[in-house]
Amino acid sequence: MNVFQAGLFEGKVVLITGGGTGIGRALALAFGELGAMVVIAARREGPLSGVVKTIEDRGGRACMYTLDVRDEARVEEVVRGIWQDVGGVDVLVNNAGGNFMSPAVAMSAHGFRTVLDINLVGTFLMSQAVGRRWLDEGREGSIVNISATNAEYGSPLMAHSGASKAGINNLTQTLAVEWGGTGVRVNAVLPGPVRTEGSDERLWTDAALVERVEEGIPLGRFTTPRDVVGVVVFLASEAGAFLTGSLIALDGGERLRSLIF
């Protein structure tokens, strides 16, 4: 993004979960272009290695770890490895997420728990493993959580996702208060619907519904990964130095649709 100063994240390590696809991939490429050492982590090796190669081909620095954010022992092992390999983390983006569409009455308890575990428990485990080290070392840091607008007004057909994102918003504000004293900032970005490989496959399968929803957005289009990049980079940068516990909606006004008459 050329609105940001070249080399803005030179000397910084940015860890992005789910960095192999969609929004996470866009974030990884952007931080790479801004000079960061980019560390990406997710379950599948294939998408991760593609992103590392792209960053390196563009002259940046990146590395990857396979992990499932639900696996507490693996999260600890990976974060310990990052501290050993690249000297720690300056920015953590909790982006890994899961979702599928189902009426609440038809959703299995395991399906509900799965999404809560990936989105909310995963965000907690990653934040705790990184935050603990920041507090021990008296080191400043910034966490940006990728929440969603469905956290705020209920989430028909995505009860698990809405509940998990509401939990992420609350966790964001709790950690902002608990960790603010040592210069650790914790914020969240709440995108509206974004067309990505993961969401196209699982959520936006009804073309007529997608068109109707898009038409109702005051700014006339869905959120893009590029929109998310702009706000996350801002929050992680010096320009966001006095922001903590902020929940920033990024939806072109979509959540205000009901106000249209």
Ligand X SMILES: CCCCCCCCCCC/C=C/C(=O)SCCNC(=O)CCNC(=O)[C@H](O)C(C)(C)COP(=O)(O)OP(=O)(O)OC[C@H]1O[C@@H](n2cnc3c(N)ncnc32)[C@H](O)[C@@H]1OP(=O)(O)O
Ligand Y SMILES: NC(=O)C1=CN([C@@H]2O[C@H](COP(=O)(O)OP(=O)(O)OC[C@H]3O[C@@H](n4cnc5c(N)ncnc54)[C@H](OP(=O)(O)O)[C@@H]3O)[C@@H](O)[C@H]2O)C=CC1
Binding site for ligand Y (CB under 6 A): 17-18, 20-24, 42-44, 47, 67-70, 95-99, 118, 122, 146, 148, 191, 193-194, 196-199
Distance between CA atoms of residues 65 and 82, nearest Å: 9
Binders of ligand X: how many residues, by CB under 6 A? 24
- The CB-of-118 to ligand Y minimum distance in angstroms stands at 4
Q: Is residue 20 part of the contact set for ligand X (CB under 6 A)?
A: no
Query: CA torsion 13→176→164→79, rounded to 10°?
Result: 30
CB-wise, 60 or 225, nearer to ligand X?
Answer: 225
Our CB check for ligand Y shows the closer of 17 and 142 to be 17
- b (16+ CB within 10 A) / e for 84-95: eeeebbbbbbbb
| Residue from the set 142, 145, 149, 187 that interacts with ligand X by CB under 6 A | 149
Tell the smallest beta-carbon distance from residue 150 to ligand Y (Å): 7
Strands of 37-42's sheet, edge to edge?
A: 61-66, 37-42, 13-17, 91-94, 141-146, 184-191, 247-250
Residues that bind ligand X (CB under 6 A): 97-100, 102, 108, 110-111, 114-115, 118, 148-150, 161, 192-193, 198-199, 202-203, 209-210, 213
